[in-house]
């Protein structure tokens, strides 16, 4: 499962929290990150994990849940 995170305010705290929780930040462009977690198979699991980090409801970022790419399994965007 991939997520795209738009940082409305640049925050190393967000990056550190994602990495500490096992998210792999795959790319960073301007204020947008793409991240993936090997133990997160779908949007519900991603939401739960991000909520546990306090990021799901954060006013300082926007999160987009992305469909799986080729070879990434059968996850779907809801």
> pLDDT of 5-50, one tens digit each?
999 987 888 999 999 999 999 877 888 999 999 999 999 999 999 9
Q: Give pLDDT, residue 49.
A: 97
Q: Provide φ and ψ at 15, rounded to 5°.
A: -60, -45
Please give the residue range of the domain that contains residue 24.
2-66
Query: Whose CA is closest to 56, among 11, 3, 1?
Result: 3
Has residue 14 been placed in a domain?
A: yes
Question: Residues 54-62: what's their mean pLDDT?
Answer: 93
Q: Give pLDDT, residue 64.
A: 96
Has residue 78 been placed in a domain?
A: no
Domain containing 32 — which CATH number?
Answer: 3.30.70
Has residue 74 been placed in a domain?
A: no
The whole-model pTM stands at 0.80
C-alpha 40 chain-centroid distance:
10
Query: Whose CA is closest to 33, among 59, 58, 66, 57?
Result: 66
Tally of structural domains, the chain: 1
């Amino acid at each position: 499962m991939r997520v795209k995170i738009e940082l409305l305010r640049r925050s190393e705290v967000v990056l550190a929290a994602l990495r500490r929780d096992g998210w792999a930040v795959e790319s960073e462009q301007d204020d947008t990150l793409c991240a993936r977690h090997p133990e997160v198979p779908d949007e519900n699991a991603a939401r739960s994990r991000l909520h546990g980090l306090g990021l799901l409801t954060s006013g300082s970022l926007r999160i987009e849940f992305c469909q799986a790419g080729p070879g990434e399994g059968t996850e779907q965007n809801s």
